[in-house]
Amino acid sequence: MHSLKRSLLIGLIVPLLLILPAVAAIQYWLIVTPAKAEIDAQLGDFALALARFIHEEGGMVSFKITAQAERLLLTDQSDKEYFLVLDPAGRALAGDEALRDPPLRVAPDEWQFVDGVLHHHRLRILVFGTPCGAGVCQIRIAETFIKRNQVRTDALIATIGYSLLFGLITIGVMVLAVRRSLAVLNQLNAHLLAQNPHELSLWQGEPIPKELAPLIAAWNQLLFKLQESHRAQQQLIADVAHQMRTPLSSLKMEAELALLEPHPPAVHQALENLNRAADRAARLSAQLLSLARADQGLQAVGQWQMVDLKTVVAELVEEWSRRALVQSIDLGFELESALIYANPSLLIEAIANLLDNAFEYAGAGSVVTVRCRVAGYRAFLDVEDNGPGIPAEEHARVWERFYRAADTADAHKDASHASRGSGLGLAIVAEIARRHNAVAEILSPQTGQGTRIRLSFPAV
Ligand SMILES: Nc1ncnc2c1ncn2[C@@H]1O[C@H](COP(=O)(O)OP(=O)(O)OP(=O)(O)O)[C@@H](O)[C@H]1O
Ligand SMILES: [Mg+2]
């Protein structure tokens, strides 16, 4: 996959790696050239000093130097030095005869440098012409390459070391700069990943780089449109569910009336089925309405306020105790004060769905308990029953819309057992929990067998 970071880094680092050797070569040349010139100049100074020892008497040229002066001039700390003085006729006046090669002619006061070999040493030879008598005497002075090689080695080490250091630091800085500049993409990425499809939030990271501003603006526009269309869909569902209530209740009323009227036994079963189907449809449309309302959250009915979970649950006690009596269920409440920020009508809806499931699936003779309390920074609401429980492999899926556990769906397919459910109850609970920043989870019940569903809210 194409990586912006990689192409930026390649675009920066490859040219740097190409330029760096060229820069290093120039740097090496700049160090070595003056140093070599300096060493050559020293050789020139020696030649000039030696020239002073050439004497001319009555047309006879001679070279006289004391051993001390010779030592003084020709002793070097690292290199070996040699010299040769030739008279205008080419006879050696003093020095090392072997320096005669290569034969060269120089004008008076002219310098020439040549490379040569003497006693197996490579030599740098300076040939200097100095006027003597009627002609030109040659002073040849030679030196081994030790100093020169040392200069080269030092320059090489310095250049390579400097280039490596410079290269590494520059590459490090480039990597950091590219990373820093692209960090905003990671932020954008994290923002996208954190998006909740029910509640898209616009990107407000600061500061936005100029280059990304159009992208982020377009992105925000898209989010805004999605939000709008999601809201419109929810509104449509809510409206349809609301509009269906009247025809559905008249359908049910008519079915009930028909059942009360004398009717042929052949149609009795049909009327019963019709009545139940109207019931189911009414319940489904009520559920869709509450799901849409919970999804719309803030526009939902009722106010958001500080409430005590205990008072909210207390509102359900009377109605559900009556139902428990009818269905022979042992319903108990263990309520402690727990202050949370909530929308009471949504909360009641959620608890009612949990109780509905407990009654439905645990069935007659079972024990159902509602608990609430505070522990640490969380407020808990548990609805527990000692029914068949939800198999662990279904735990994740039962929260999905229109999902019913396999057993339930099978059992209720049987026409004799009227199926009321459509798999929306827990989805509504999950949506309401999400609206409250609460966690909805299935725990193992205190009594061992059964179902315990817990909503844990941030406590105030
Ligand atoms: N207390 C419970 N005991 C056993 N199984 C449960 C319990 N609560 C939920 N379930 C399982 O989870 C599934 C999903 O529950 P949910 O309330 O979402 O849908 P439903 O009860 O089937 O239909 P609806 O609630 O829409 O009438 C149920 O079909 C059932 O299998
Ligand atoms: Mg249910």
Instruction: Give residue 190's pLDDT band: very low, low, confident or very high (50, 70, 90).
Output: confident
Instruction: Give residue 61's pLDDT band: very low, low, confident or very high (50, 70, 90).
Output: confident
Angle of helix 425-435 relative to helix 265-296, nearest 10 degrees?
20
- What is the residue extent of each domain of the chain? 4-151, 195-299, 302-458
Instruction: Give residue 160's pLDDT band: very low, low, confident or very high (50, 70, 90).
Output: very high
Percent of the chain with pLDDT over 90: 57
Best substitution site from 355, 356, 408 to test ligand 1's pocket, by max atoms within 8 Å of Cβ?
408
Ligand sitting nearest the alpha carbon of 356: 2
Atom of ligand 1 nearest to the CA of 420: 27
pLDDT tops 50 at residue 233: yes
Q: List the one residue out of 310, 369, 308 whose CA is nearest residue 340.
A: 308
Tell me the CATH class for 195-299: mainly alpha
> Largest Cα–Cα distance of the chain, in whole Å?
168
Atom of ligand 1 nearest to the CA of 424: 26
For range 405-413, the mean pLDDT: 62
Q: Which residues contact 310 (CB under 8 A, 6 or more apart)?
A: 335, 336, 337, 338, 372
pLDDT tops 80 at residue 30: yes
Lowest mean pLDDT among 166-180, 297-311, 367-381: 297-311
For range 48-74, the mean pLDDT: 86
Torsions phi, psi for 355 (to 5 deg): -65, -40
pLDDT tops 90 at residue 293: no
Alpha-carbon separation of residue 187 from 180, 193, 219 (angstroms): 11, 10, 14
CATH 2.60.120 is right for the domain spanning 4-151: no
Best substitution site from 361, 394, 412, 422 to test ligand 1's pocket, by max atoms within 8 Å of Cβ?
361
Determine the pLDDT at residue 198: 65
Residues having CB closer than 6 A to ligand 1 are: 287, 357-358, 361, 385, 387-390, 398, 404-405, 408, 420-427, 451
* CA–CA separation, 274 and 290 (whole Å): 24
Q: How far is the CA of 22 from the centre of ligand 2 (A)?
A: 77
Give the pair of three-digit tokens for residue 298. Answer: 């803030």
* CA–CA separation, 63 and 92 (whole Å): 10
Q: Whose CA is nearest to atom 20 of ligand 1?
A: 423
pLDDT tops 60 at residue 414: no
Ligand sitting nearest the alpha carbon of 284: 1
Q: How far is the CA of 435 from the centre of ligand 2 (A)?
A: 19
Determine the pLDDT at residue 408: 65
Give residue-wise pLDDT tens across range 161-188: 999 999 999 999 999 999 988 888 888 7
pLDDT tops 70 at residue 199: no
Please answer whether residues 313 and 381 qualify as being in contact, where contact means their C-beta atoms are separated by less than 8 angstroms: yes
Best substitution site from 397, 424, 426 to test ligand 1's pocket, by max atoms within 8 Å of Cβ?
426
Count other Cβ atoms within 10 Å, centred on residue 439. Answer: 15
Q: List the one residue out of 361, 347, 440 whose CA is nearest residue 405.
A: 361
Give residue-wise pLDDT tens across range 40-51: 999 999 999 999
Please answer whether residues 178 and 5 qualify as being in contact, where contact means their C-beta atoms are separated by less than 8 angstroms: yes
Q: Which residues contact 329 (CB under 8 A, 6 or more apart)?
A: 323, 359, 362, 364, 365, 366, 367, 368
Percent of the chain with pLDDT over 70: 94
Q: b/e string for 169-207 if b means 16 or more Cβ within 10 A?
A: eeeeebeeebeeeeebeeebeebeeeeeeeebeebeeee
Atom of ligand 1 nearest to the CA of 387: 3
Q: How far is the CA of 447 from the centre of ligand 2 (A)?
A: 21
Determine the pLDDT at residue 189: 82
Across-strand partners of 137?
A: 130
Of 416 and 295, more confident? 295
Instruction: Give residue 411's pLDDT band: very low, low, confident or very high (50, 70, 90).
Output: low
* CA–CA separation, 233 and 242 (whole Å): 14
Give the domain 302-458 fold: Heat Shock Protein 90 (3.30.565)
For range 232-250, the mean pLDDT: 89
